[in-house]
Amino acid sequence: MRVFKPRKSHTLKMLGELKLPFSVDNIALDAQSGDFYLTGFGNILSWREHVHDHSAKSPSAIIRVSHNTEQDQYYGRRYRVERLMVEDGSKASGATVAIPDRATQRLFIGGVFMHGILVCNLPPRK
């Protein structure tokens, strides 16, 4: 994932690059905190099978990316990456989006082929 900042000249300045542990499908922004919630597929081959057979389990993963406010930010670590959920597809098979709700402190997880949504407590930042 690459992070950019818009310039007045209508160009972009790259601020950083993060290596992610899975293929990301969607990114949701928490406008209040500035955190990003990335949802994707733990195994792209399982996802492909899941597309053709919705009963096939597809592992899902969700991470939160936030601005690093710890001491190591001065040594190049501008962002914190936290794993919020990594699961084998039993609870959220093929999840494609995770939306945080600060008012209820919940995380709403959905997917194209999921029957309903999964609602979890929103973990506090580490």
Domain definitions of the chain by residue range: 17-121
For 69-116, write each residue's pLDDT tens digit. 887 777 778 888 999 999 998 889 999 999 999 999 999 999 988 889
Q: Which two tokens stand for residue 24?
A: 């990301």
pLDDT at position 74: 73
Mean local confidence (pLDDT), 16-20: 88
Q: Comparing C-alpha atoms, which of 56, 25, 18 is closest to residue 39? A: 25
Contact 72, 85 (CB under 8 A): no
pLDDT for the residue numbered 108:
97
Closest-CA residue to 53 (of 118, 116, 113, 117):
113
Digit-coded pLDDT (tens) for 43-82: 888 988 988 998 889 999 999 999 888 877 777 788 889 9
pLDDT the model gives residue 107 = 96
**Model confidence over 36-45: pLDDT tens digits?**
999 998 888 8
Q: Is 44 left (phi over 0), alpha (psi -120 to 50) or beta?
A: alpha
pLDDT score for 72: 76
pLDDT band at 35 (very low <50, low <70, confident <90, very high): very high
